[in-house]
Amino acid sequence: MKKLFWLLLVPIALVLRPVPKPKDSNQVWVADTLLRAGGSKTYDLHLNLKENSDFFYLNRVLEKSPELLDQVQNHFGKPVRLAYIKHWTPLDPFSKHHHVSCLILARDTLWQEK
């Protein structure tokens, strides 16, 4: 019975662990061209880049800053710099979905996670 408990606990703990706080040591910077942006029912802001097929999102940012979607949509086709947090989870085994911690458009920092 103990063995079964640990066999179930470890995968659940891996899936449910939170995204870590941003630090210099766990962030990756990407510079590209903004292709698309959109919101979701969960108040996430989703970003698609021209040269990078990965999926970038700002978690629940539209809940507190709904105007951010309009600001981002005004920058389609323009350069963007963003930082995302390196984080592996079994729900995304190939690490194609990235939690954005900093968003810079036209040299303006539009959003930064604290």
Give 49-64 pLDDT, tens digit per residue: 999 999 999 999 999 9
80, with CB counted inside 10 A (0-12, 13-18, 19+), is: buried
Q: Phi and psi at residue 13, in whole multiples of 5°?
A: -65, -40
Tokens of 7: 């066999």
Average pLDDT over residues 81-109: 95
Q: What is the pTM of this model?
A: 0.87
Q: Which residues, including other chains, have CB under 8 Å from residue 3's CB and lie 6 or more apart?
A: none
pLDDT at 24: 92
Query: In CATH, what number does 2-112 get?
Result: 2.40.50.140
Distance CA 56, CA 27 (A): 13
Q: Give residue limits of the domains in the chain.
A: 2-112
Query: What's the sign of the alpha-carbon dihedral 79, 81, 86, 90?
Result: negative
